Structure formats: structure tokens, C-alpha cells
Amino acid sequence: MQDLEQSVLAAADGLVAAFAQHDRVAYFSAFAPNATFIFHTLNRPLLSRAEYEAEWSLWEKRDGFRVRACRSSERHVQVIGNVAVFTHRVDTELEFNGKPATADERETIVFQRESSGEWIAVHEHLSRLG
């Protein structure tokens, strides 16, 4: 079980690192095409990776959105067969139209183990703290 938890943490680390570097290609490749997303900043769920990618592009164009850094803490992994639930606290440094912003949030990412043994994210839920 420890090895499974470590492999989930490695998948989560890769996803968080790509997000922290505003590396769209690496970040979105960590999600399955049919992944779903719930963000406290939106009034609706995003029901596919393509929907999230379109929203991200809108944020970049409309809001000058950039991720500057992201730190993960209070990490926990729960493995249930070929599914893993990863929860953590994320402290993110962002930029909107050249102005810095920060976000302190809780996040749940659900991973599914593929036949290759790799973990891919199938759901993300982001909640505001405080």
C-alpha cells in the first residue's frame, strides 16, 4: 500500500509542479479527457478537460491570468482499488493583469490507475479556505 501511495503522490507532485510553472501542456496532460472540475470561483462544473482548457484560455486572455507559484501541504492519500483520493492544502501565487494575488485553498484530486500503472486525474474539486 505504501508503494501505491507514493506513486499517487508522485503523480500529484507532477501535476502541482506543472501548475506552479504555468505549464499548460504538462498540467492538462495529467488529466483524463473526461475529467471533471468543480471550482469555487465558477458558478458551474466543468465537465471535461477541454472545457477547463477553454476556461483557462479565457482567464489568460480576459484576466491576464498567470500562475507564479504553488505550494502543496497537509497532503493525504487514500487508495481504494484503482482509485486514489488525494487531498491537500494549496497556497498559490497568481497574477491577474500584472497584479499579484494569492489563494489559500483545499483541493481534492481523484486519480484513476491506468492499465500501464500510471495514475491520471479524473476529478478536481477546489474549495476556498476561510
Structural domain of 113: 2-128
- For 35-71, b/e burial (b = at least 16 CB within 10 A) is bbbebeeeeeebeebeebeebbeeeeeeeebebeebe
pLDDT in tens, 84-107: 999 999 999 999 999 999 999 999
Q: Over 80: is that where the pLDDT of 1 sits? A: no
- What is the number of domains present in the chain? 1
pLDDT value of residue 14? 98
Predicted model pTM? 0.95
pLDDT value of residue 2? 76
Q: Residue 64 maps to which CATH number?
A: 3.10.450.50
pLDDT mean over 75-87:
97
Asked if residue 59 lies in contact with residue 24, where contact means CB atoms within 8 angstroms, the answer is no
